[in-house]
Structure 1
Amino acid sequence: MLSSCRGSLAMKRKDDRIILHFDVDAFYCSVFEVENPALKSVPLCVQQKQIVVTCNYEARRRGLHKLQLIRDAKAKCPDAVIVLGEDLTKFRDASKALYRFLRGFSWNHKVEALGFDEVFLDVTDIIEYNLQILAEHKQPQPAFFHLHRSDPTSGFVYDATNIPGHTYPQNFSLSASLSGSDDSLLLRLSLGSHLAYHIRQQVEQQMGYTCTVGISTSKLLSKLVGNLNKPNAQTTLLPPYEYEDNGALGNVASFMDAHDIGKVPDIGFKMTEKLRHYVLKCSLDSGSSIPCSERLERTTVGDLRNLPGLNAQVLEEILAGPGMQRGVGFKTWCLLHGIDDTEVAMARDFPKQISIEDSYRCMNTMEGVLRELLTLSTSLLHRMRADLTVEVQVLDGNHGQKKTRQWLVHPRTLRLSTRPRPPPGADGNRARASIRISRSTSLPTFVFNLAEPVELLAKRLVHESLVVLFRHLHPERRGWDLSLINVAVTNMVETAGTSKSAAGRDIGKMFKFREKTSEVPGSVKANVTSLIQTNNIGAVNTMAASRAPALDAIAIGSEDQLPLSQSTQLSEAASTWDESESDEQCFVGICPHCDARVPDFALAAHLRFHEVNI
């Protein structure tokens, strides 16, 4: 993600970009408020299971908060309006509509969704174009911002002498500040703030949502600076970004230093705990008077960064361990200094993968596993039809036209992942489960039959593929206890189109990649059939289609938290498009052909090797 920071930090800054981070205010509540505007003025809570998963700002003003029990929320605010948010369909649809709307403002197609409610826009080319016009024509005030190169009338009027919204630092005057080496960056950030303000207005007027926006030169900084002023606001992180000649901190360093290390994107839970304990140890060694409990509860970037002798190598020694990627110390060193060269991903019309998961307090029987596999598979197939197909007009037998759906892409790989719960230790306590194991195979082509009901296809998928994968992951019939099951389809290939990855309209080529799953042993097949019939597993919960896709702690939006219930925790509001695994999770795939343990990212290529050589 980040370039190595072994050299000078000043050499590694990438401040030639302008990146906007959009965060829809109280997204789940906003979706209901757009449907029913009367809800905007009342305390509104969205319920999933027995928990308030989110609430609007009026509810927060009255003391309600996320992850609160419903009964406690009602006791605190009896007039609160509670709406059910179990079915994620409307949120997913609203998120896609927002993504498409924001994508319409992009020239370079660098538009990346994060969760349901956040979007990054790289607007560098738009800003450079308007900066050139501003310099060449020396436009009188007010100036005109061009939204299209080919249409000089498309745009909006703006005041080039100020920066709309909030700034960090505050109390800033643009005209008084244009006198240094950072003039170019300052002007580009100013133009970015005007574009952000215009887009925010358009989102509110045309879609009914208010947004909070951060404006800076990287994804890291734009996301963090936007959090300073919520809701319905925007904040621009101003230069100087570098250390000044007199040794004073630049604005990036002073901004980052105030953040708790646990709030920095890409620094996960385990990393945060290790860093907190390291700071505590250094504080105790130096005789600090700060209480240990306070130091463990809040450790800022400044507390860590200013420790004597701290550098990238020391961070590598602190953080390295099982599940951590190589170079984590250099990566973290960059983050602490506000350096992030991660590119905004190119916009796309379909996801890289679709993943559905659920987590459990206890899952230790085959009957329970079969039931969950069927529920997850049903939800997965519904998601595939919603996200990977498009409605088209085709000729019918009477020379007329009828509407039907066709696949945009075909996933080639089916993956099953589980997270076994560690056994209790000597003290009776269990370690935190964090290691996932996975096994993949070719996705059976029968799942692309749009004429068959999803429920029947899901049963067959469980019967013929997922049970086999599960038996390879857990060959023992008992003794395991799972805290999570995840079913995913990956390795998307376009079925038709003009792009390089499209497979064209050759039906033979489209279906050439056939599944080669291991044959289900007769005893296993009979046992599965018996369990399905005995436990009435075919009666799929009607809410299955609303199951949420999975999301790691990094790629998660501000409305993407879900609490534990009495029996199970549903992974909430995953990325609109795809699910990527945390760097704290160790994914190991097992080849169904040769039983080799292959890193998950390399498994698709490994399977293709077998396809060629079988």
Structure 2
Amino acid sequence: MPMTTTAKSSLKRSDDRIIIHFDYDCFYASVFEVENPALKSVPLGVQQKQIIVTCNYEARRRGLRKLQLVSEAKKKCPDMVIVLGEQLDRFRDASKMLYKFLESFTWNNKVEKLGFDEVFLDVTDIVAYNQSLLNPNDLSHAFFNLSRDDPTIGFSFDASRTAGHEYPDLDDTAIEIAAKDQELLIRLRIGSHLAQHLRHRLEEDKGYTSTVGISTSKLLAKLAGNLHKPKAQTTLMPPYESTSNEDQAEQTSTVIAFLDTHDIGKIPGIGFKMSQKIRDHILGRKVDLKDETDSRVVKDSVSVRDVRLFPGMGPELLDEILGGLGAERGIGAKAWALINGIDESEVQTLKRVPTQISIEDSYRGISTLPEVRKELRVLATSLINRMHTDLLESDEDNPGKQRWLAHPKTIRLSTRPQPPRNPDGTRSRSFNRISRSCPLPNFIFGLREGVDALVEKLVVETLIPLFHRLHDGKGWSLNLINICVANMVETASETVKGRGRDISRMFKHQEEVLKEWKVEDKDVPPDWVAEHHRTNDGGRSHALFKAEPSAGNDAIMKGATGSEDVIPMTQDAVDDETLYMNEESDSGKCSICNAIMPAFAMAAHERYHEFENLSE
């Protein structure tokens, strides 16, 4: 059954953007391969605890897979090389490096990380610019400009063809591209050549291969990239809208045809629990999720097409299926849009600081306080090291020193207790965590003490008391402990990203800007005063000061009186309030001398003119 008229009319896809999704091939194994190129030709597995969390393609070619026990993997492939992946710093550093590399090729800085090994790029602006430079009569000899300012930076490409794979393959299908879709086709092809260029640069310059998808949204770009792995790319081709009229048969959009082949649980944004509820409703029973022969396969698969064409399906029915206590408002409409390929979410730029820093580890079962203390010390050490890595920067005003980018205000301790044993001695699986939080103590921001001293203090004074609030008494057994710092408050900075202005930097900057306007008292010989300054005011004389001339201002002030002298502001002068407010405060203009100044200073300035008139 096709979608209802109401639902159909509410779905509007914006195809103005070009989004590229990068998925680094076997990222965690690749980090070790880049460090030691000899590992590229051998089966390699990355171990955490007793599990192979990931492996390279050579290992997969020999029948190994992710999430196998080390013992099982060794039996299947005795010559497998195993490296320990417990320490995440090397992966985090590699991910940041690759992010910065891709970001350097963008103009709008819309680059978003998804975990360690995925990145979205919004390249709409650079694609539009290069589209405007195309010669429509010679598309096969185009040049891609990577810089607006230097026309020599870039590469040659054939704009009449798509780089990499297409879905569907236009050469093997009878799909006709309507005139209205020609412009989208050109933009997608330009984007595909940029994606190919970046993909090759990642491999040549950094040693990492990637799989790439190109489309007009994050949803479609991510799914398109999954079609050809590894070391390949796929562009989702037009038409993106279904067409139907009396003269020709209905032509289904490639978006709908593409999504219909996916299981509902494979759609980004529709999580495990949501897809499970949808399957239950479509099949009219509780589904059997796992195939007995392969734990990675969903036995009772329900496709997007099954959901989309289900009688009465639409936002309202999905609200009934997915709604309930704690459900997101409008969840039905959101899920319906995703099922129909609508995703208007923006590619987000990387935040100056993370929203939180979280460290955790899992265990077979911890049931004594000494074990807890030991693990808390290990986790707290990693946490503080992460805080120093992610939240500290070099202090430009104090070479050799560092300053905090942000101060997390809260520390949270979470655990996952094991459920009690069943009568047969087994335990049910549980994913439920319990947490307690408190203000993060200020001593954690001290940079004079060593990490070990900070760890011991944090464990004894903060984490152990939190643990006792979570688990009072005995009888508990834990298989996970997590420490997290959150509620980041950015420190004052010179940019609008900070929560305030750095006052010390402001005054240092003010000293530089106002240097030429500074008035200094200088000892001068009496003869110089007598020679250069004769008074003719009936015996009245005034202390005179020399100031640098400025446009619209008399350099010599009349009626100056010692340390409270005031130099009238001019249009060229910069006052400290303007520096502080970054020219956002209200200003006023003196009707007598035309000086511009903050509104709050106007009254005092007018009083100055009154005293000036009295002195004359």
2:62 equivalent to 1:66: no
Which residue number corresponds to residue 380 of structure 1? 383
What is the deviation of 1:365?
4.7
The verdict on how the C-alpha distance between 1:140 and 1:163 changes in structure 2, with shifts beyond 3 A counting, is closer
Query: What is the distance in 2 between the residues matched to 1:140 and 1:190?
Result: 11
Q: Contact 2:492/2:502 (CA < 8 Å) preserved in 1?
A: yes
Q: Given residue 495 of structure 2, which amino acid in structure 1 is its aligned partner?
A: S
Unpaired segments ≥5 residues, structure 2: 288-296, 507-616
2:488 equivalent to 1:492: yes
The verdict on how the C-alpha distance between 1:140 and 1:305 changes in structure 2, with shifts beyond 3 A counting, is closer
2:313 equivalent to 1:310: yes
The verdict on how the C-alpha distance between 1:295 and 1:403 changes in structure 2, with shifts beyond 3 A counting, is closer
Query: What is the distance in 1 between the residues matched to 2:141 and 2:173?
Result: 15
Which residue number corresponds to residue 351 of structure 1? 354
Query: What is the distance in 2 between the residues matched to 1:98 and 1:302?
Result: 37
Tell me the alpha carbon deviations over residues 328-368 of structure 1, each in whole angstroms, 9 at most, x when there is no partner: 22222122112111111112343222111223443455444
Which residue number corresponds to residue 580 of structure 1? none
What is the deviation of 1:426?
9.9
Q: Contact 1:162/1:174 (CA < 8 Å) preserved in 2?
A: no
2:133 equivalent to 1:133: yes
Q: Contact 2:11/2:337 (CA < 8 Å) preserved in 1?
A: no
Q: Given residue 306 of structure 1, which amino acid in structure 2 is its aligned partner?
A: L
Q: Given residue 215 of structure 1, which amino acid in structure 2 is its aligned partner?
A: I
The verdict on how the C-alpha distance between 1:194 and 1:386 changes in structure 2, with shifts beyond 3 A counting, is same
Determine helix, strand or coil for the equivalent of 1:119: strand
Query: What is the distance in 2 between the residues matched to 1:9 and 1:188?
Result: 26
Query: What is the distance in 1 between the residues matched to 2:22 and 2:449?
Result: 40
The verdict on how the C-alpha distance between 1:141 and 1:117 changes in structure 2, with shifts beyond 3 A counting, is same
What is the deviation of 1:257?
1.2
The residue correspondences of 1:90-109 to structure 2 (distance < 5 A) are: 90-109=90-109
The percent of aligned pairs where both chains have the same amino acid is 54
Which residue number corresponds to residue 398 of structure 1? none
Q: Contact 1:280/1:295 (CA < 8 Å) preserved in 2?
A: no
Which residue number corresponds to residue 240 of structure 2? 241
So what's the TM-score if we normalise by structure 2? 0.72
Query: What is the distance in 2 between the residues matched to 1:430 and 1:380?
Result: 31
Tell me the alpha carbon deviations over residues 279-311 of structure 1, each in whole angstroms, 9 at most, x when there is no partner: 221899xxxxxxxxx984322222222211222
Aligned match for 1:403, one of 392, 400, 425: 400
The verdict on how the C-alpha distance between 1:84 and 1:434 changes in structure 2, with shifts beyond 3 A counting, is closer
2:448 equivalent to 1:445: no
Tell me the alpha carbon deviations over residues 241-273 of structure 1, each in whole angstroms, 9 at most, x when there is no partner: 122214443111111111112222222222222
Query: What is the distance in 1 between the residues matched to 2:214 and 2:92?
Result: 26
Aligned match for 2:453, one of 452, 456, 463: 456
Query: What is the distance in 1 between the residues matched to 2:379 and 2:200?
Result: 39
**Range with greater deviation from structure 2 (147-156 or 409-418):** 409-418
Q: Given residue 93 of structure 1, which amino acid in structure 2 is its aligned partner?
A: D
Superposition RMSD on alpha carbons, in Å? 3.1
Query: What is the distance in 1 between the residues matched to 2:58 and 2:466?
Result: 48
Determine helix, strand or coil for the equivalent of 2:134: helix
Query: What is the distance in 1 between the residues matched to 2:327 and 2:418?
Result: 20
Query: What is the distance in 1 between the residues matched to 2:501 and 2:105?
Result: 30
Q: Contact 1:277/1:296 (CA < 8 Å) preserved in 2?
A: no
The verdict on how the C-alpha distance between 1:372 and 1:328 changes in structure 2, with shifts beyond 3 A counting, is farther
Query: What is the distance in 1 between the residues matched to 2:139 and 2:342?
Result: 36
Query: What is the distance in 1 between the residues matched to 2:451 and 2:286?
Result: 59
Determine helix, strand or coil for the equivalent of 2:179: coil
Q: Given residue 41 of structure 2, which amino acid in structure 1 is its aligned partner?
A: S
Q: Contact 1:33/1:40 (CA < 8 Å) preserved in 2?
A: yes
Q: Given residue 492 of structure 1, which amino acid in structure 2 is its aligned partner?
A: M
The residue correspondences of 1:158-169 to structure 2 (distance < 5 A) are: 158-169=157-168
The verdict on how the C-alpha distance between 1:275 and 1:190 changes in structure 2, with shifts beyond 3 A counting, is same
Which residue number corresponds to residue 299 of structure 1? 302
Q: Given residue 485 of structure 2, which amino acid in structure 1 is its aligned partner?
A: V
The verdict on how the C-alpha distance between 1:421 and 1:35 changes in structure 2, with shifts beyond 3 A counting, is closer
Query: What is the distance in 1 between the residues matched to 2:233 and 2:347?
Result: 20
Q: Contact 2:7/2:315 (CA < 8 Å) preserved in 1?
A: no
The residue correspondences of 1:141-540 to structure 2 (distance < 5 A) are: 141-172=140-171, 179-245=178-244, 246-281=249-284, 296-391=299-394, 403-420=400-417, 433-474=430-471, 476-478=472-474, 482-502=478-498, 503-506=500-503
The verdict on how the C-alpha distance between 1:51 and 1:6 changes in structure 2, with shifts beyond 3 A counting, is farther
The verdict on how the C-alpha distance between 1:337 and 1:167 changes in structure 2, with shifts beyond 3 A counting, is same
Determine helix, strand or coil for the equivalent of 2:362: strand
Larger radius of gyration, structure 1 or 2? Answer: 2
What is the deviation of 1:177?
5.2
Tell me the alpha carbon deviations over residues 27-66 of structure 1, each in whole angstroms, 9 at most, x when there is no partner: 1121122122222222222222222221111221111111
What is the deviation of 1:165?
0.3
The verdict on how the C-alpha distance between 1:295 and 1:482 changes in structure 2, with shifts beyond 3 A counting, is closer
What is the deviation of 1:206?
0.8
Q: Contact 2:111/2:121 (CA < 8 Å) preserved in 1?
A: yes
**Range with greater deviation from structure 2 (243-252 or 204-213):** 243-252
So what's the TM-score if we normalise by structure 1? 0.72
Q: Given residue 111 of structure 1, which amino acid in structure 2 is its aligned partner?
A: V
Which residue number corresponds to residue 598 of structure 2? none
Tell me the alpha carbon deviations over residues 147-179 of structure 1, each in whole angstroms, 9 at most, x when there is no partner: 122222221111011001001112448999554
Query: What is the distance in 1 between the residues matched to 2:33 and 2:186?
Result: 37
Query: What is the distance in 1 between the residues matched to 2:206 and 2:102?
Result: 11
Query: What is the distance in 1 between the residues matched to 2:504 and 2:476?
Result: 43
Q: Contact 1:163/1:194 (CA < 8 Å) preserved in 2?
A: yes
Query: What is the distance in 2 between the residues matched to 1:363 and 1:327?
Result: 41
The verdict on how the C-alpha distance between 1:363 and 1:337 changes in structure 2, with shifts beyond 3 A counting, is farther
The verdict on how the C-alpha distance between 1:212 and 1:278 changes in structure 2, with shifts beyond 3 A counting, is same
Unpaired segments ≥5 residues, structure 1: 285-293, 396-401, 510-614
Query: What is the distance in 2 between the residues matched to 1:466 and 1:507?
Result: 35
Determine helix, strand or coil for the equivalent of 1:221: helix
**Range with greater deviation from structure 2 (318-327 or 419-428):** 419-428
Which residue number corresponds to residue 28 of structure 2? 28
The verdict on how the C-alpha distance between 1:39 and 1:359 changes in structure 2, with shifts beyond 3 A counting, is closer
Q: Given residue 324 of structure 1, which amino acid in structure 2 is its aligned partner?
A: A
What is the deviation of 1:17?
1.1
The verdict on how the C-alpha distance between 1:205 and 1:339 changes in structure 2, with shifts beyond 3 A counting, is same
Determine helix, strand or coil for the equivalent of 1:53: strand
Which structure's relative contact order is higher, taking Cα pairs within 8 Å and 6+ residues apart?
1
Aligned residues: 488
Query: What is the distance in 2 between the residues matched to 1:325 and 1:393?
Result: 44
**Range with greater deviation from structure 2 (116-125 or 493-502):** 493-502
Determine helix, strand or coil for the equivalent of 1:297: coil
